[in-house]
Amino acid sequence: MDRAQKEAVVAELGQIFTDSGVVVVAHYEGLSVAEMTDFRLRMKTAGGSVRVAKNKLAKIALKGTPGESMGSLLTGMTVLAYSEDPVAAAKTVDAFAKDNKKLVVLGGAMGATPLDEAGVKAVAAMPSREELIASIVACLGAPAGQLVSAIGAPAANIAGILSTLEEREAA
């Protein structure tokens, strides 16, 4: 790799560190190509990405970024999992690590907040952006649904009384 390629990798990694909602660092030693492909596919499905880079270049790219504190995690065979959604990458990495013990979560960063292994698990336990939006919409829609059922209840009661009266007269 010549100097220009290294500069391009550092620029790309710097962009990843500044734009991502969360970056998770893990050891992937022992993962087969098929397992790594499965991991990449899961991340892509969740809206994230996986990047393997030289630790030295990643540390250079971390300088001056909010997640600079995670430079100490970059030792050995590391993989970076990241996503714009602050929860998606952590959830996917945590789920994959439960299925495959060869992927060992070291930590990461959520913006300027450093995360250790427990921090990544805590972020993975949080609801995703879509789940939060769905719960807010449900909360906003619940009063309207109750109002509609309250307005419709007297009409339903009257209809029930009339049908009961009709049945009595028919009998």
Q: What is the mean pLDDT of each run of 10 residues along the chain (171 residues)?
A: 86 86 90 93 92 90 83 89 88 91 89 85 81 78 67 69 78 69
Whichever domain contains 40, its CATH number is 3.30.70.1730
Angle at 110 between CA 109 and CA 112, to 5 degrees: 80
Range of the domain at 33: 3-126
pLDDT of residue 161: 75
The tokens of 146 are what? 């109750």
Q: Are residues 95 and 171 in the same domain?
A: no
| Start-to-end C-alpha separation, the chain | 95
Q: Are residues 162 and 118 in the same domain?
A: no
Q: Are residues 26 and 106 in the same domain?
A: yes
pLDDT of residue 62: 87
Q: Are residues 109 and 148 in the same domain?
A: no
Q: Are residues 71 and 44 in the same domain?
A: yes
- Total domains in the chain come to 2
pLDDT of residue 156: 67
SS (H, E, C) 90-152: HHHHHHHHHHCCCCEEEEEEECCEEEEHHHHHHHHHCCCHHHHHHHHHHHHHHHHHHHHHHHH
Q: Are residues 84 and 24 in the same domain?
A: yes
pLDDT of residue 150: 64
What gap in Å lies between CA 145 and CA 156, rounded to an integer? 16
What gap in Å lies between CA 116 and CA 119, rounded to an integer? 5
pLDDT of residue 144: 67
Q: Are residues 99 and 29 in the same domain?
A: yes
Q: Are residues 80 and 136 in the same domain?
A: no
Q: Are residues 17 and 73 in the same domain?
A: yes
Q: Are residues 131 and 121 in the same domain?
A: no
